[in-house]
Chains A and B, each alone.
Chain A
């Protein structure tokens, strides 16, 4: 029998914050909430300005391929849909990610595991620099330098691969195509994806890498069996962050893609567009009603980008567990 006075009494553990702690806590909480409020206000503003379009067109605004403002004095004659542009955003972004992810993996592995220290510092600085280049510079460079190169590549690609529908171009007009925009976007997102890939690869468990070496494994064996499986979920998150950037890119796509309101799966053909470049193209000369439609298009893009980034953050948070 245990005597009552021998049983330890529950005691309340109290920790009090100092004044400095409380002030710091308030400041950072306000900062964190402020960004959320800004995000909510942007969404609310776009919804408020574009609500009339959603009520007039419903779901067909997202699926429709026609953008015809009709009689500017009579809004009932307008037919507006961003289906073609939305699909264009997806096509150019997917091309970008398909090119960017393998390149980013190779660059990240080289920097982390193969390059001498000096080369590593130079490459890291160059990548940071590329990430900081304004997209208009990319756009101009894409138009002036990349366009003729992609045009030259497109002709043999179409000749050899035209049995695959996405590579055939019946019009024979190449140039400002989704492929060009996709390659340009790939160059723009490579630094982001590389940066995330480097981060996750650098966190690969050193003890398992050592175990791999101790068992006679080569450096490539350690990378293939430890580093890559360990970093897979983080890399997926990085790719989705890149996808978010590619989906929202405006100026570079505006300068390198021929805006045509038609869903175009023929990636080498000179026709396409994306939601952001649609907004940039139409904004300057839009009527009041068309402006509302552009706001609604902005809201759709905002939600898609938000969704992609949200999924990316979930996946990045899972990084570190081998999947």
Chain B
């Protein structure tokens, strides 16, 4: 899998040019100040925001190209996304949250929950599977959000400040966990962070936004 993004993302004052290629197995870290448009890039790749100009493609399949009016909706891009504010569904249990994307692929409930349970075990949440997001700690919610993104085995994994909402001790555990989860992963990873340690530990390439 290779992701190519060349063009202008965002609107108004948050608009900026970007030229980036993420090859299979690479982890591109985007770093920069608050408001520099890092999250907008991830939203554009995920299909939640549209490119202003240029082209976004994944393995030669064009996802977004304003000039030709090509736009692949978010649900057809099959990206795995960990949002900065996590966005776990508050009324669903952790296992139902993790199984959500799988259920959208018309997988049976049993199979989706079995896969979700495996993923929750990988992130160490197997015993909390039936709890709702409001009933677990910030670090556990973060792990659940990671599991929800990774269970889809997505071609593109997007991590928006994946350790932003956890305390320092949980952050270390998550930082140790992430490389093992991503190991052997066949897709491209885009990581947004303004923590230099996250970037040094995880990234293979770095893109700096001024």
Contacts and interface: CB of A to CB of B under 8 A. Distances in A.
A280 B103 CA distance: 56
Contact of A216 (B78, B91, B92): B78
A30 interface: no
Max count, chain B CB within 10 A of own CB: residue among A212, A214, A323: A214
Interface in A200-230: 207-208, 210-218, 221, 225-226, 229
B101 A322 contact: no
A208 B97 CA distance: 12
B48 interface: yes
Interface in A169-217: 207-208, 210-217
Interface string B118-135: 000000000000000000
A207 B89 contact: no
Given A213-B73, A214-B74, A215-B152, A225 B81 contact: no
Given A221-B104, A225-B100, A322-B91, A214 B81 contact: yes
Main SS of chain A's interface residues? Answer: helix
Contacts of A207: 83, 85, 87
Contact of B104 (A218, A229, A322, A323): A218
B74 A213 contact: yes
Given A225-B89, A322-B90, A217 B101 contact: yes
Interface in B76-101: 76, 78-81, 83, 85, 87, 89-92, 100-101
Interface residues of B, number: 25
B47 A215 contact: no
Given A208-B87, A225-B92, A322-B90, A213 B100 contact: no
A216 B81 contact: no
Contacts of A212: 89, 100
A111 to B, nearest CB: 21
B105 interface: yes
Nearest to B83: A211
B75 interface: yes
A217 B75 contact: yes
A322 B74 CA distance: 25
Interface string A86-102: 00000000000000000
Contacts of A221: 103-104
A212 B85 CA distance: 14
Contacts of B81: 211, 214-215
B46 interface: yes
B89 A226 contact: yes
A216 B73 contact: no
B100 A217 contact: yes
B151 to A, nearest CB: 10
B148 A215 contact: yes
B147 to A, nearest CB: 12
Nearest to A215: B101
Contact of B152 (A208, A216, A226, A323): A216
Contact of A213 (B47, B89, B103, B105): B47
A33 B85 CA distance: 43
Contacts of B80: 215
Given A210-B48, A221-B104, A225-B92, A216 B75 contact: yes
A211 B148 CA distance: 11
Given A322-B90, A322-B91, A216 B104 contact: yes
A229 B89 CA distance: 10
B46 A208 contact: no
Contacts of A225: 89, 92, 100
B49 to A, nearest CB: 9
Given A211-B81, A215-B148, A217-B101, A229 B91 contact: yes
Contacts of A217: 75, 100-101, 104
A24 B47 CA distance: 48
Contact of A214 (B48, B85, B91, B103): B48
B79 A214 contact: yes
A214 B46 contact: yes
Interface of A: 207-208, 210-218, 221, 225-226, 229, 322-323
Interface of B: 46-48, 73-76, 78-81, 83, 85, 87, 89-92, 100-101, 103-105, 148, 152
14 contacts: A207-B83, A208-B89, A210-B74, A213-B48, A214-B47, A214-B74, A214-B79, A215-B101, A215-B104, A216-B75, A216-B76, A216-B101, A225-B100, A322-B90
Given A211-B81, A215-B104, A216-B78, 16 more contacts: A207-B87, A212-B100, A213-B47, A213-B48, A214-B47, A214-B48, A214-B83, A215-B80, A215-B152, A217-B100, A217-B104, A218-B104, A221-B103, A225-B92, A225-B100, A229-B91
